[in-house]
Amino acid sequence: MFNPPRVLVVDDERYVRGLLSELLAVWGCQTDLAASGTEGLRLFEQKSYDLVLTDYVMPGGSGLELVENVRNSDAAVGVIMLTASSADLDGHGRRLGFTLLRKPLQIDHLEAAVKQALSDRKIEN
C-alpha cells in the first residue's frame, strides 16, 4: 500500500504554513505544521518524516538550530530551508545537508526541490 511522503512544515507565519501545506497536498504529501523551531522539533521527535521544510528566521530558535537537531536524530531526512534573509547560508547548507531556497519563493523551484529531496530519501531507505 502506498504511503504518502510525510513532510514537516515549520514557519512562524500562518499564511506561509497554510500555502506550503496546500502545495504539498497537491504534490501528494501529508503534512504536519509547526509555528516554531521548538514545536517543530517536538513533532519531529514524535513522528517519522521524509522531509522537513523550515524557515530560517523564527522567534524561539532559528531554522539552523532545528536542522542541527533534526540531523542528530535522522541524518538521511530531506531538509529544505526557506529564507528571505540575505545571510550567507551556503556553508551551513553543505555542512548540514539542506537545500536553500530564497523568498519570495518560486513555486516551480520549490516543487523541484521537494521532489528531489523525496527521491533522495527513497534511494537511501
In a domain, residue 98? The reply is no
Q: What is the mean pLDDT of the chain?
A: 92
In a domain, residue 15? The reply is yes
Confidence (pLDDT) at 125 = 46
Q: Is 14 exposed, middle or buried (0-12, 13-18, 19+ CB in 10 A)?
A: exposed
In a domain, residue 10? The reply is yes
Hey, CA dihedral for 108, 124, 5, 65, is it positive or negative?
Answer: negative
- The CA-based angle 5-11-16, given to 5 degrees, is 85
CATH number at residue 55: 3.40.50.2300
E-state strands within 13-50: 30-34
For 19-54, write each residue's pLDDT tens digit: 999 999 999 999 999 999 999 999 999 999 999 999
In a domain, residue 95? The reply is no
In a domain, residue 125? The reply is no
Rounded to whole angstroms, the Cα distance separating 67 from 103 reads: 18
Count: domains in the chain: 1
In a domain, residue 14? The reply is yes
Q: Which residues of the chain have pLDDT under 70?
A: 1, 123-125
Confidence (pLDDT) at 1 = 53
In a domain, residue 40? The reply is yes
Which range marks the domain in which residue 22 is found?
Answer: 1-87
In a domain, residue 44? The reply is yes
**Amino acid occupying residue 59:** P
